[in-house]
Structure 1
Amino acid sequence: MTTGPLATVEHEFLRLDLDLAELIDQIAAYTTVRPTTALQLRNLLLSGTIARQVRDRLWRRLVARAQEHEEWMVAALGMAMPALKVCARRLCRGLDPHHAQDVQEEMLLAFVVAVRAADTTWNRLPWTLCCRARRAGIRARKDAFAQHPATPRPEPRATPAGNPDQVLARAVRAGVLTADEAEVINRTRLEHLPLTHLAAERRASYWSLVKRRARAEKRLTEAIRSGRLSTESLLLVA
């Protein structure tokens, strides 16, 4: 899997320059290998020479850091990337490139949300996080097959109250979203432009767009549930 959102995050992972001393301390008593890069550390964890309980301790520290710093969230995703890629290959079979991108994006978003909500006392932490991502990917795959791309799209017409475009406009007027956040949601959710393409178009970090859209959508959902925006706005969430 050399293209798509997972490949983009993997590329950012390989570019990381982090101080790994604290993580390496978690495994120092169990190996003579001293990784100097995140990739080397990942390869060591995948080698089978480190006991699961020791790996769990390292992951607890990794997740704690990822909950506070963006670059460590990239590190957590990168450490889990081999498992995420295996899962994505299965879930993307039979899908066109657009829907395969959707599956990958939903997996990444679910992993990030799971990391933020994770209790670092959990056992088998990486497995739990990857399971959350897998479930999101399954839902995205089912949604893709539930669609009927062969059905002709209707001609544009006047939009009714509660139309997603109007929902976004109301959210901007209410101060729930910025105009730029509304544009990101509109283009990637409603117009189905992959985030990777939007990032390239803007010459922006793909990862920053993932986080920015997730934060904006969270605020939008909370505003709808609290009644700040009308219930018609549920059309967009759906």
Structure 2
Amino acid sequence: MLPRNCPGITADSMPLDVVRSAFTWLTTGPHPVSVDGRLFDGFPDRWVRLDEVRDLLLRRTCPQNVRDAVWTHLVRLARTEGATWTVACAGIALPALLNVASKLTARFADDPSDIHSSVLTGFLTELAAVDLSRPRIMVRLRWAAYRAGHAALREALDTPVPSAGSFTSASPPAPWGHPDFVLARAVEAGAISSSEADLIGLTRLEKVSLAAVAEQRGASYEATKKARQRAERRLVLYLRDDVDTVSPNTSGSGVQGCERQPDASTHTSSPDVPAPPSSTTPEVPRCA
């Protein structure tokens, strides 16, 4: 999938470390891989090295339409020319992928390699299929990476583990309430669709205005508002049913601060749940 013959890559390297090393290899030396900055508004009037492209996209001042134009260009190159540009896309998205992997494995005490690998696989799979005619390409690539990593995490946590003194099956941990986890689990359970999770995630978690999302989707504000209301009603019903099934005595679950704490598990290093992201909490940039 990605080259492993680059300097700094060993057999024990984590999948995202492989991406980092391969991307560094592409951006160093006398002939670094670059894109023509003249193709994009606000970019330098010259060939721009890939790591500089990444940094420009991560700037808060970079307009969304420019981000989408650059990602459209990069994804098309990855689809038509293959390996080099696939690595380029993964490397430019690396800050977001690392953020996703870190969030998923923050309380996971076992080897996180499979989860990191699933995050990368989810991104690369979506890279081949993402609709380039719709806006916020990187947001949708990130969600695909998150869903794949989350599925791998759930599989790891749901695997029975030996109890002390015997090999009887231990109970899987109860679901946790981080907003991104909640949406991913709801999609996995079929309570809401991926499109509806994107709508809730963009407007509730990413703080994109409902009017902006409606315009992006080519729908009216009222239609988009009603679509979100319907999705959130199903999400609430799913969460209520989930709480009753898992822990009848636990109150509160869901997005926007209505969370519950997980049971202690031999898979996790701490029963604490990571705090939901906020505008005042510093973190690695989520997406470019």
TM-score normalized by the length of structure 1: 0.57
Which has the higher mean CA deviation after the structures are superposed, 131-140 or 116-125?
A: 116-125
The equivalent of 2:131 in structure 1 is 119
- Partners of 1:78 and 1:19 in 2: how far apart? 12
The equivalent of 1:6 in structure 2 is 16
Q: Deviations over 1:3-30 (max 9, x none)?
A: 62112111111111554234x2332x42
Q: Deviations over 1:107-152 (max 9, x none)?
A: 1111111111122212111110110010011111111111134367
Gap runs ≥5 in structure 1: 154-238
Q: Please state if 1:95 is matched with 2:108.
A: yes
CA 1:144–1:91 in structure 2 vs 1: closer, same or farther (change >3 Å)? same
How many residues were matched structurally? 149
- Partners of 1:46 and 1:125 in 2: how far apart? 14
Higher helix share: 1
The equivalent of 1:16 in structure 2 is 26
Does the Cα contact within 8 Å between 1:31 and 1:50 map onto a contact in 2? Answer: no
Q: Please state if 1:108 is matched with 2:125.
A: no
Q: 2:77 aligns with which of 65, 87, 90?
A: 65
TM-score normalized by the length of structure 2: 0.47
- Partners of 2:71 and 2:54 in 1: how far apart? 11
Aligned-pair identity in percent equals 28
Alignment of 1:66-215 (within 5 A): 66-68=78-80, 69-98=82-111, 100-150=112-162
The equivalent of 1:26 in structure 2 is 39
Q: 2:51 aligns with which of 39, 61, 78?
A: 39
- Partners of 2:123 and 2:129 in 1: how far apart? 10
- Partners of 1:13 and 1:97 in 2: how far apart? 27
Gap runs ≥5 in structure 2: 1-12, 168-288
Root-mean-square deviation (CA), in Å?
A: 2.3
- Partners of 2:100 and 2:39 in 1: how far apart? 28
Q: 2:61 aligns with which of 41, 49, 66?
A: 49
CA 1:44–1:13 in structure 2 vs 1: closer, same or farther (change >3 Å)? same
